Amino acid sequence: MDTTATLHAQPDWPAQLRAHTLRVTRPRTHVLQAVHEHPHASADEVHRAVRALLPEITVQSVYVVLADLDRYGLIRRIDVPASPARYETRTGDNHHHAQCVRCHRIVDVDCIVGSAPCLTPGDAAGMTILSADVLFRAICADCRESGPDSIIPPPLHDTTQE
């Protein structure tokens, strides 16, 4: 069996929507495809991609579709500091992310230890932990090669006033 072809096979979005008891609509299938083709895209970036195929779609419609797809587990919402939410179709494996503090590019980082949740808190206050969302702040190779200036990122907020 050719695993390369399997890894890069086009997902059957209508079948996945039906499996989650969702109606198959053009906005849903186009949003899923845009998120799949542009992992870690913001809602505005997804809107731009979908508008190429559905010129009439509004940014509000894209936000509604993204929220529905996230609620049903077809996409994953990624919240990163000082940035709009990002979306991806890689779900269910509890992977993490690294974000370059200079160019803000986000990449996937596989789970550090075993299966979900690969991190266990010391005290979960009686809660059952389902997943762990970790964001590694980093300098990507391109930014590192462009020069040492500003390798140390600025703080996410001004701590001098505290």
Peptide bond into 117 cis (omega under 30): yes
- Enumerate the domain spans of the chain: 1-91, 92-162
Tell me the pTM.
0.77
Q: Which class is domain 1-91?
A: mainly alpha
Residues composing the chain: 162
Strand-by-strand arrangement of the 106-109 sheet: 106-109, 96-100, 135-138
Q: How, if at all, do strands 76-78 and 96-100 pair?
A: unpaired
Which helix (H) or strand (E) element contains residue 78?
Answer: strand 76-78
CATH code for residues 92-162: 3.30.1490
- Segment 36-92, tens digit of pLDDT: 999 999 999 999 999 999 999 999 999 999 999 999 999 999 998 888 999 999 998
Is 1-91's fold the same as 92-162's?
A: no
Q: What tens digit of pLDDT does each residue of 86-133 get?
A: 999 999 887 889 999 888 899 998 876 656 566 667 777 888 877 778
The DSSP call for residue 112 is: S
What is the band of 160 on the pLDDT scale with cuts at 50, 70, 90? very low
d(CA 83, CA 99): 11
